[in-house]
A and B are shown apart, each in its own frame.
Chain A
């Protein structure tokens, strides 16, 4: 690839008076954000890398901007454990951490930023133009696809993707979307939709609580229309089961795991809205979307192309980003269209037949009475080895679930055992880390 010159990116691509973040009694405009970022930049330790552990999206964005003003790179991680932070210290020199929760203890040179407003006297509000190839962040995976690996992100790449998302989700200037996101800001999907979109596209992000269904309703009521709920299949199902009314909602966006069309349709009917899914990965960011109820295939974001790679893989090219392999098995239908077969490492072969674990899981969680569920591949490679399924289904027996599965899937993929559990060991974005899944496996035979 030849290097392509790209225009610099403003740190904040919004008008000074635009509201970027809000919570009860708090509105942070682009000018406010820059003020605070400049103030914090002076207080940041002399470091090259800043582990951004802030939970509040606005403070997270301020730390990101402040670090950028100092030429520092943010590290994003869901794991703030001592082990993980010490691991960072081994890999990155001149490192510090910033959090907004005093309960977080860091072994690194650490700064805790508070809730107090900045000094009333505004400081210089320069909004620097950043070179497109300047590193903004390194995002670490949540671990459901193996050991944590860092994915470097440049400002040019992040801004270009925010603009593509703005086109796809019709974030029009003059009609800023009020985004209520339920995903943490350090997760790539939450980072893109709830931190970066407000910086570069016509959107404002809610910083109040968004965990319980009633939090989500309160957040949506507090933001200005057009409202957009950015969430996960897990939380969307909980919201449906709560059966609550929501303020007029322009769009629901889901990611992190495949959403079944039935749930999408139920949500569309319940709240007279549209449910869209984003396809992405930490390594690549968001690359495609689909209207779940009507489209089985995915359409790439503007400027993003997909092509067949070696074997069953595919390669994604996106503006200002390094071309990257897609760690999922897909069928490329056109340079801008593809169909998902399964996450790699997710495709199971039994008796010469292939299926996607994601697809099987979607069928499993679509069974009435099954609140959550997962298929687990056998640990050994024997061709006769069968899968197991774990379900959260208080009102269904293991036998009933198995009977439902028998009616829906190829017998080769029927699990040898259906194990009812109280809950699956999902992490904060609803993913199931491999180790936690492995730990759930009963040592010997079970019911079903």
Chain B
């Protein structure tokens, strides 16, 4: 299911598209860190990056505007999509319209 890394970041293992999404995260949420320090498998919410529901709303808007992917509270999938940078990037890549 998961695509094999093509050009993994040597330090943290981000795929190119994961880096792009990480950059979006940092810009939109004005996180006090740089995109290349977000580990792909770390949780985004709560204990990980510490994002909350208001961040989720912001992020959903940015993802919709940048990739045409609309996030919905589909009960089962949503927890997985937002689980980590990797899962979020995979979801966007699968569903993107632009």
Report if A and B associate in a common complex: yes
Interface residues of A (CB under 8 A from B): 209-215, 218, 234-235, 238, 241-242, 371, 392, 394, 420-426, 428, 430
- Chain B, residue nearest A422 (CB): B30
* Given A213-B60, A394-B30: A423 and B54 interface contact (C-beta under 8 Å): yes
- B74 contacts which of A209, A210, A421 (Cβ < 8 Å)? A209
Q: Which of B30, B31, B55, B75 has the most CB of A within 10 A?
A: B30
Which residues between 40 and 64 of chain B lie within 8 Å of chain A, taking CB atoms?
52-58, 60-61, 64
CA distance A423 to B57 in the complex (A): 11
Interface residues of B (CB under 8 A from A): 27-32, 52-58, 60-61, 64, 70-75
CA distance A235 to B57 in the complex (A): 9
Cβ–Cβ contact A392 & B30, under 8 A:
yes
Majority secondary structure of chain A interface residues (helix, strand, loop or mixed): loop
New A-B contacts (8) at CB < 8 Å, excluding given A211-B57, A215-B72 = A209-B72, A209-B75, A212-B56, A238-B58, A242-B61, A394-B30, A422-B32, A423-B29
Nearest CB of B to A78, in Å? 12
Majority secondary structure of chain B interface residues (helix, strand, loop or mixed): helix
Cβ–Cβ contact A421 & B30, under 8 A:
yes
- B70 contacts which of A212, A425, A430 (Cβ < 8 Å)? A212
Cβ–Cβ contact A234 & B61, under 8 A:
no
CA distance A425 to B51 in the complex (A): 10
Nearest CB of A to B64, in Å? 6
Residues of chain B contacted by A430 (CB below 8 angstroms) = 54
- B54 contacts which of A234, A241, A394 (Cβ < 8 Å)? A234
Residues of chain A contacted by B55 (CB below 8 angstroms) = 422-423
Q: Which of B32, B57, B75 has the most CB of A within 10 A?
A: B57
Residues of chain A contacted by B58 (CB below 8 angstroms) = 238, 371, 423
CA distance A213 to B72 in the complex (A): 8
CA distance A215 to B55 in the complex (A): 16
- Minimum-distance CB pairs A-B, first 9: A209-B73, A422-B30, A214-B70, A422-B29, A211-B73, A212-B60, A214-B72, A215-B73, A238-B57
